[in-house]
Amino acid sequence: MFNLSSMLIPEDSKLISETMCVAAIFRKRGDVFLLPYFTTGENATKSPDRKPQKYKLNEIHAEITAEKISLNTVKLEAFKDVPDEHLYNKDGDPLPSTIQRNSRHEVVEKLLSYDDELYYPIHGKGVIAIVAKELRVTRTNAQRYLNNFYRGGRHINSLIPATGRHSSSPEPGSRKIGRPRVTSVKGVIGKNVTRQDKKYIKRIALKFYLSKKLLSIKKCYQILKDEHYYKQKGSIAPDGTQNETIHLGPNEIISENQFRDWIPQVTGLSRNEIRAKRRQSSDQKANFAGRAGHSDFEADGPGDYWQMDSTEIDLELVTPYNRLTTVLRATIYVLRDVFSRSIVGIHLAHGNASWKEARVALFHAIRNKVKFAKEYGLDISEDDWVEHGAPANLLVDNEEFQNKISASVGKDLNLTVQYARAYQGDDKGLSESSFHMIHSMLKNEEIPGFRYKKLLGRNRNIPLKTACLTVYEMQQILIIYAIYHNNHIWKDNFPLEESAMMSGIKNVCREYWDWGMANRNYYLTYKPERQLYLCLLEVGRLTVHKTHLHLQEVGADYYCEEISLSGYQDRPLVGSSRTHKTLSCRYIRTGINRILIEFRGKLVPAYLHSDFKACRKMSVFEFKQWKLNTKIDKSMHEHEHSGAASDFSVAAAHIVDGAKTKKSETKKLENKALPANKKEASEVLIKEDDQKENERLDTAVMHEIEFSHTTNNTTVEIESQPDIDNEIPDDDDEDDEFFALMEEL
């Protein structure tokens, strides 16, 4: 029956396209107001907080009668459909979620008191705006509370917030709290750990995990499911009939991670105490290295200090394949020489700031600029952009360089990386001012796509409409601007030394660089491009195992023939400890198939282990996503086959029990003919095995004879063969060939 609690599900409807619930019915006016029902999941509406939409009542009735719309009843969510006593603590005080529910209900009651005017406003402000101002809530929240009230069948508990009951020990049926499971994409969201679950965890942990049995977490979790989370317990009857184990659904069982994480809390032991109780080994202290370097400096020559920084460029850029589509974000990197104020490197990257793009920017800054410009379709001479080479000191943010993967910068390039203070742009004032300078250039040159400030109304779409440059073309403009800046722009407030000024040097970056190179050329170092590129690869840490080398940062295994043949993997542990040997390596995020390992003073190649054949063409991101998907599939597979593990344990226990019974029966016999020792018992078993092999041979020979009768209708007898000695020819080659044939026969 169609009423205020009805849910309307479209079957072949032309009026509605998604599941709706009823907000209000005005029979005299012939109107009905409907609201999208689903706000989460695959069928969630795009506008959950919009006002209910008006439809003609007779048209809705017509489609219901024609079965183009089916009816159902709205229901409360499980965590909201609870008795009132669950909404108060043991002292009788309302829970925080109950207080929020009551305050929201006050808003809803006020709105509903306006009756028809809520849906047919008369004049002036709407009802939502009036109530929102009176009760000091936003209009959006007021409409949201009202919509949730309708979706919950006009039950006050429909206004309980989605965060749940705010309880550390939620009752059964309450909303799942905490980190979502990786299987949530498959609809398996799991359950909360209740008081009863804690009792189960404590019992299994004390009996199997922390006792002398020292079973693994995985096995203890299997026992937990077998003893407390089952629909049918596996067993084997005396007549051999087997009952398979059937566990509860995945949303009714705590996960293995929950079981492991709750053990310290239910047992009252710290993780260190648990490890000591299980392994009887002392804990290792973690090493925390402090930040090295400082930001106070004074440049004495070209390359003494460089500054590097990045920011999002205020420009809309398009893709080269479809110039009507803009890229999400582009980040500009600028490197400046502190001594001469020259731009030594400029790089425009896709996406956010990262070490991957920072290393490219540093690579372009250090290398020869002629080759750099040629990669972007520009022909310049050596004299156009002379600033290159590796500096002695590099001042950077913590953002890209304060991590392990960037450790090669200081280690392989022999330069000192110094870090600016957090949120202190003054430490890198030179590179920070570069961004203002570049953005001013973009504005003054009227580069299309520039994001002008304080654009209002429709004008805010001007950058998107005018954008036409790709990242490649913008990089060309930046290279040309860097050359122009270094060679031609007069710099005010230039830190020119007295001796340089007396030599007639102007306030131009290039002239001061040349003077510095002529008088203080002892800071820059130069490396071949191939060696420079290898020095800027990301740094990783490998743990050594007997069968493979494990890259910790990626989670992949590698094989290196040179390291394997050297015997370095034969003893992978350090001394008598449980700590594995480690090696440093270089890798790149765009491909994981090959890495370079630091081994005995050189870089040796290593390749992805055969266990990861399917991943040889993946990037680091794709590989990690593959591992996550595999983990999800594994979790689902283990749940589907969880009963098999229990059935195996039941079958093994059944066989063991039978053996024990037979042994106890044997003790009662006083038969002296039984084997008296291990040797006699072994001889009896060997004879039995030999007899079985002879029986198999007889069966195979009889099968061959029968097969020969059915195919040739004749049998070849050995006695009917000609005399071999008379058939041997004199030729040595034929003789050897014949004897080889005889050996095969």
Share of the chain above pLDDT 90, in %: 21
Whether the CB-CB separation of 10 and 19 falls below 8 Å is answered with yes
Q: Over 70: is that where the pLDDT of 670 sits? A: no
Which residues, including other chains, have CB under 8 Å from residue 225's CB and lie 6 or more apart? 247, 253, 642, 646
**Which among 505, 444, 513, 446 has a CA at the least distance from the CA of 483?**
513
User: Pick the residue with more confidence: 538 or 734?
Assistant: 538
Q: Over 90: is that where the pLDDT of 475 sits? A: yes
Specify the pLDDT at position 406: 56
Q: Side chain identity at 255, as an amino acid letter?
A: S
User: Which whole number is the average pLDDT over 552-569?
Assistant: 90
Residue with token string 């990045």: 310
Chain Cα centroid distance, residue 570: 33
Q: Side chain identity at 179, as an amino acid letter?
A: R
Specify the pLDDT at position 398: 64
User: Which whole number is the average pLDDT over 251-277?
Assistant: 87
Burial group, residue 289, by CB count within 10 angstroms (0-12, 13-18, 19+): exposed
As a whole number, the mean pLDDT across the chain is: 82
Domain extents in the chain: 6-73, 84-159, 184-279, 306-514, 537-637, 675-745
Whether the CB-CB separation of 208 and 216 falls below 8 Å is answered with no
- Strands of the sheet containing 306-312, edge to edge, are 343-350, 330-337, 306-312, 393-396, 416-419
Q: Over 80: is that where the pLDDT of 487 sits? A: yes
Specify the pLDDT at position 384: 93
Whole-angstrom Cα distance, residue 480 to residue 42? 50
Chain Cα centroid distance, residue 488: 49
Strand ranges in 549-609 using DSSP code E only, listed in sequence order = 549-551, 556-559, 582-588, 591-599, 602-608
Determine which of 38-47, 99-108, 115-124, 289-298 has the lowest per-residue pLDDT on average: 289-298
Taking domain 84-159, whether its CATH number is 1.10.10 is answered by yes
Q: Over 70: is that where the pLDDT of 76 sits? A: yes
Whole-angstrom Cα distance, residue 28 to residue 115? 14
Q: DSSP labels for 120-184?
A: S--SSS-HHHHHHHHHT--HHHHHHHHHHHHHTTT-GGGGS-TT-S--SSPPTTPPP-SSPPGGG
Q: DSSP labels for 432-456?
A: HHHHHHHHHHHHHTT-TTB--TT--
| 577-610 pLDDT, tens digit each | 778 889 988 888 778 888 989 898 888 999 999 8
Determine which of 242-251, 669-678, 725-734 has the lowest per-residue pLDDT on average: 725-734
Most confident of 258-272, 415-429, 721-735: 258-272
Residue with token string 């490219």: 360
Which residues, including other chains, have CB under 8 Å from residue 390's CB and lie 6 or more apart? 303, 366, 413, 414, 415, 524, 525, 526, 527, 532
Q: What is the DSSP code (8-state) at residue 580?
A: B
pTM (2 d.p.): 0.48
Chain Cα centroid distance, residue 433: 37
User: Pick the residue with more confidence: 272 or 155?
Assistant: 155
User: Pick the residue with more confidence: 427 or 459?
Assistant: 459
Burial group, residue 701, by CB count within 10 angstroms (0-12, 13-18, 19+): exposed
Classify domain 306-514 at the CATH class level. alpha beta
Q: Over 80: is that where the pLDDT of 141 sits? A: yes
| 682-724 pLDDT, tens digit each | 888 888 888 888 888 888 888 777 766 666 655 444 444 444 4
